[in-house]
């Protein structure tokens, strides 16, 4: 299952929390005397997004600053900074509240963003002149603005916001929740700033509006619309439509199907490039699909590309710029809209970039991380290599880091599998070490060779404590093309999870991993893998930390908010078809509990709608009743969903995870750690 919280209007947050990127820093000196700690993980800052101005003189970027987990269990904040590209000096522009959707306003010397002040309940649009000054509110809607896009002259915006709804007071002294019947559509609107009396005009789409993209002449807007505002429809049913910007009426429709991540107009407005799925069964929106803006069926211009396109942008000379994942590395280059003349401009051994922004000339701003530090801003002028221009965590230069490398190994059926390995700090080749296997979710996701340490990923904290940490990109992972990502469909817990065990065997054969001290962890589908390794493969794993994971595929079908995605891109059949009940029961960890001997810590967000907390409750109950001798604990985090967003919950999980591995991979004890957790533990 997709292992990130749903926030369609802020898709860049998927990168912030999933791609917290990672060998030994060139800046490490003899003064370094410690490795990374959970406290460091709770404090470091990352760049969330960056946009370069049209004249290439400034870069507006957001810095994500975590709350202090010892003081306030709150969300991270995003603050606005402006960097002068000539001096490479940054200055804070807005830090009073968290910002999103930062944009330079075309033909105006200003930067705009969405925020809400301390006493406000809805996001509104604010503006600050580039030469300084206070933020001024320039537009407010009845409900919170989700996202907006400027016309080329900065005179109008298209924006999305929830449709205003009048709430009726109940005649009873309580208000029940009516399940999945109280959804509110997110609508699209257009508003101009040259006429103060002109109110917003609603785009005449019947369903929920997500993506919005102005045509080059500002006469039309390409939108994506879904029948309902459910997460399932967002993933599987976004339909591209063209809207006349004067009337708000839909004038044409695109016959696209499957996942959709981006819509880009050609310079002459005659074509659209979609970053989307190849077909309805493609698990990701990582292909470039081109279609006439007047309608038609999109065509995959490079179906044999063995990678995943992460971002696209049409250029004035009728080529498409792309940022792509290829294996564990990223590439940046251009391709013609007919799929010819693929040109990679940046070498694969550089930073792991997650986004780019282009000025009117050939100057680019990138956001990317490396093995030594989380995401920062990079500047590229002309054909030069990008250079890092922000330094948000200089203290990291004084932290000893474990060496990080990409590894490749054969699965038992001969298929080559990639993964990333972080070695312990002070690694010695003649020693074997306890191993933590970190399994990604999805399964349509992958690990890139960048910064790989976060609250839910042991990474350099594990390396500092003497562990090798292994990140397998098992079959079904992204970044290796359409065929590879479909290899695990219809085979849950089959060859995909065998690939993980084969990777462990490879590391044992290499003399790196101690076969008696292997642990496993992961969230969502990675939590499913952890449960599988702790039951079906339990003789191979001494400890497991299962996070928001699946334990019963039968009840999963009836409790998740993505049944269509589960069917179309994961299982390819329904639970109730062709006697599948027994098939899916046997692919459920609860079916194999009699094998369980792995010390298992289970964690779950109490408000999770993607993988219901009942999945963790079921596995906990089965093991507790059937195998009471197995060390076991279940921790629920109030107010958290499919992954943890608040500072103290994240810190608590990281401490518990590392303490669990310490107890069962290093200490000679079967005693369950104290349930009470203190930071000094």
Indicate the helix (H) or strand (E) that contains 521. Answer: strand 513-523
Q: 165-208, pLDDT tens digit by residue?
A: 887 777 888 888 888 888 899 999 999 998 655 789 999 999 99
Backbone angles phi, psi at 521, to 5 degrees: -150, 165
What is the structure's pLDDT at 10? 40
CA 371, CA 628: separation in Å to the nearest integer? Answer: 41
Q: 628-651, pLDDT tens digit by residue?
A: 999 999 999 999 999 999 999 999
**Residue 1 DSSP one-character state:** -
Q: Are 448 and 352 in contact (CB under 8 A)?
A: yes
Per-position b or e across 332-358, b if 16+ CB within 10 A of its CB: bbbbebebeeeeeebeeebbbbbbbbb
Quote the tokens at residue 603. 């964690």
CA 115, CA 99: separation in Å to the nearest integer? Answer: 5
Listed in sequence order, the residues at least 6 apart from 400 whose beta carbon sits closer than 8 Å to its beta carbon are 24, 28, 32, 33, 34, 35, 425, 426, 464
Lowest mean pLDDT among 90-94, 198-202, 623-627, 652-656: 198-202
pLDDT band at 255 (very low <50, low <70, confident <90, very high): very high
Q: 322-334, pLDDT tens digit by residue?
A: 999 999 999 999 9
CA 291, CA 206: separation in Å to the nearest integer? Answer: 23
What is the structure's pLDDT at 173? 87
pLDDT band at 1 (very low <50, low <70, confident <90, very high): low
Backbone angles phi, psi at 282, to 5 degrees: -70, 125
What is the structure's pLDDT at 227? 97
Backbone angles phi, psi at 119, to 5 degrees: -95, 10
What is the structure's pLDDT at 199? 82
Q: Shortest CA distance to 62 belongs to which of 78, 76, 51?
A: 78
Q: Are 311 and 264 in contact (CB under 8 A)?
A: no
Q: Shortest CA distance to 92 belongs to which of 132, 56, 125?
A: 132
Q: Between 169 and 540, where is the model more confident? A: 540
Specify which residues 600 forms β-bridges with. Answer: 544, 632
Give the 3-state DSSP-derived string for 250-277, with helices as H, strands as E and coil as C. Answer: EEEEECCCCCEEEEEECCCCCEEEEEEC
Q: Does residue 115 register a pLDDT over 80?
A: yes
Q: 267-324, pLDDT tens digit by residue?
A: 999 999 999 999 999 999 999 999 999 999 999 999 999 999 999 999 988 899 999 9
Mean confidence (pLDDT) of the chain: 93
Q: 555-608, pLDDT tens digit by residue?
A: 999 999 999 999 999 999 999 998 899 999 999 999 999 999 999 999 999 999
**Residue 344 DSSP one-character state:** E
Q: Between 516 and 7, where is the model more confident? A: 516
Q: Does residue 681 register a pLDDT over 90?
A: no
Specify which residues 65 forms β-bridges with. Answer: 77
Indicate the helix (H) or strand (E) that contains 355. Answer: strand 352-358
Indicate the helix (H) or strand (E) that contains 379. Answer: strand 376-381
CA 477, CA 503: separation in Å to the nearest integer? Answer: 15
CA 96, CA 1: separation in Å to the nearest integer? Answer: 36
User: Quick one: average pLDDT of 108-135?
Assistant: 94
Quote the tokens at residue 654. 């990281």
* Cα torsion angle, 318, 343, 59, 382, sign: negative
Q: Between 17 and 271, where is the model more confident? A: 271
Q: Does residue 9 register a pLDDT over 60?
A: no
Q: Does residue 5 register a pLDDT over 90?
A: no
CA 637, CA 603: separation in Å to the nearest integer? Answer: 8
Q: Does residue 677 register a pLDDT over 50?
A: yes
What is the structure's pLDDT at 555? 96
* Cα torsion angle, 425, 426, 429, 432, sign: negative
Give the 3-state DSSP-derived string for 86-118, with helices as H, strands as E and coil as C. Answer: CCCEEEEEECCCCCEEEEECCCCCEEEEEECCC
pLDDT above 70 as % of the chain: 94
What is the structure's pLDDT at 25? 32
pLDDT band at 12 (very low <50, low <70, confident <90, very high): very low
User: Quick one: average pLDDT of 1-26?
Assistant: 37
Q: Shortest CA distance to 372 belongs to which of 20, 23, 16?
A: 23
Q: 408-440, pLDDT tens digit by residue?
A: 999 999 999 999 999 999 999 999 999 999 999
Q: Between 253 and 29, where is the model more confident? A: 253
Q: Are 615 and 584 in contact (CB under 8 A)?
A: no
Q: Shortest CA distance to 145 belongs to which of 162, 167, 128?
A: 162
CA 382, CA 31: separation in Å to the nearest integer? Answer: 38
């Amino acid at each position: 299952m997709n292992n990130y919280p749903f926030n369609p209007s802020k898709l860049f947050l998927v990168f912030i929390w999933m791609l917290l990127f990672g060998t030994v820093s060139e800046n490490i000196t003899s003064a370094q005397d410690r490795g990374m700690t959970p406290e460091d993980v709770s404090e470091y800052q990352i760049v969330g997004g960056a946009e370069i101005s049209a004249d290439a003189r400034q870069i507006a970027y957001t810095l994500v600053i975590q709350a202090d987990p010892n003081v306030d269990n709150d969300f991270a904040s995003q603050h606005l900074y402006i960097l002068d590209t000539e001096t490479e000096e940054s200055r804070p522009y807005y830090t009073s509240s968290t910002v999103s959707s930062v944009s330079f306003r075309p033909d105006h010397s200003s930067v705009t963003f969405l925020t809400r002040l301390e006493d406000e309940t809805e996001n509104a649009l604010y503006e600050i002149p580039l030469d300084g000054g206070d933020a001024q509110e320039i537009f407010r809607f009845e409900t919170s603005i989700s996202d907006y896009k400027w016309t080329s002259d900065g005179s109008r915006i298209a924006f999305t916001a929830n449709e205003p709804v009048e709430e009726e007071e109940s005649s009873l002294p309580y208000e029940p929740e009516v399940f999945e019947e109280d959804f509110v559509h997110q609508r699209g609107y257009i508003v101009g700033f040259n006429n103060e009396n002109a109110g917003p005009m609603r785009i005449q789409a019947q369903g929920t509006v997500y993506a919005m993209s102005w045509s080059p002449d500002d006469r039309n807007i390409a939108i994506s619309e879904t029948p309902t505002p459910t997460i399932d429809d967002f993933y599987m049913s976004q339909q591209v439509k063209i809207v006349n910007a004067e009337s708000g009426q839909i004038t044409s429709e695109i016959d696209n199907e499957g996942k959709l991540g981006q819509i880009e107009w050609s310079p002459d407005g005659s074509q659209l490039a979609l970053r989307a799925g190849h077909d309805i069964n493609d698990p990701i929106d990582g292909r470039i699909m081109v279609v006439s803006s007047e309608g038609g069926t999109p065509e995959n211009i490079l179906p044999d590309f063995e990678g995943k396109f992460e971002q696209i942008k049409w250029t004035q000379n009728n080529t498409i710029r792309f940022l792509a994942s290829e294996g564990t590395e990223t590439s940046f280059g251009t391709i013609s809209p007919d799929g010819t003349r693929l040109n990679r401009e940046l070498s694969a051994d550089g930073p792991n970039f997650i986004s780019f922004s282009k000025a009117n000339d050939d100057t680019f701003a990138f956001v990317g991380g490396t093995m030594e530090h989380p995401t920062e801003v990079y500047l590229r002028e002309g054909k030069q290599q990008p250079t890092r221009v922000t330094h948000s965590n200089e203290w990291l230069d004084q932290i000893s880091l474990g060496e990080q490398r990409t590894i490749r190994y054969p699965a038992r059926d001969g298929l080559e599998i990639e993964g990333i390995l972080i070695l312990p700090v002070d690694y010695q080749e003649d020693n074997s070490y306890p191993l933590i296997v970190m399994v990604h979710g999805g399964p349509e996701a992958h690990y890139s060779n960048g910064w790989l340490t976060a609250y839910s990923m042991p990474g350099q904290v594990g390396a500092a404590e003497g562990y090798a940490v292994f990140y397998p990109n098992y079959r079904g992972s992204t970044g290796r093309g359409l065929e590879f990502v479909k290899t695990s469909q219809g085979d849950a817990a089959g060859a995909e999870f065998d690939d993980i065990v084969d990777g462990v065997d490879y590391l044992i054969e290499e003399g790196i991993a101690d076969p008696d001290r292997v642990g496993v962890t992961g969230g969502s589908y990675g939590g499913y893998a952890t449960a599988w390794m702790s039951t079906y493969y339990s003789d191979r794993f001494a400890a497991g930390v299962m996070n928001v994971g699946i334990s019963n595929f039968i009840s999963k079908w009836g409790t998740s908010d993505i049944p269509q995605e589960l069917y179309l891109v994961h299982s390819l059949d329904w639970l109730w078809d062709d006697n599948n009940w027994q098939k899916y029961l046997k692919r459920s960890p609860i079916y194999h509990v009699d094998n369980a001997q792995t010390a298992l810590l289970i964690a779950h967000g109490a408000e999770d709608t993607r993988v219901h907390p009942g999945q963790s409750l079921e596995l906990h109950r089965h093991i507790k009743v059937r195998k009471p001798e197995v060390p076991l604990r279940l921790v629920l985090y109030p107010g958290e969903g499919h992954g943890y967003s608040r500072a103290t919950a994240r810190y608590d999980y990281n401490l518990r995870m590392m303490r669990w591995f310490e107890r069962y991979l290093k200490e000679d004890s079967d005693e369950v750690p104290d349930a009470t957790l203190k930071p000094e533990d």
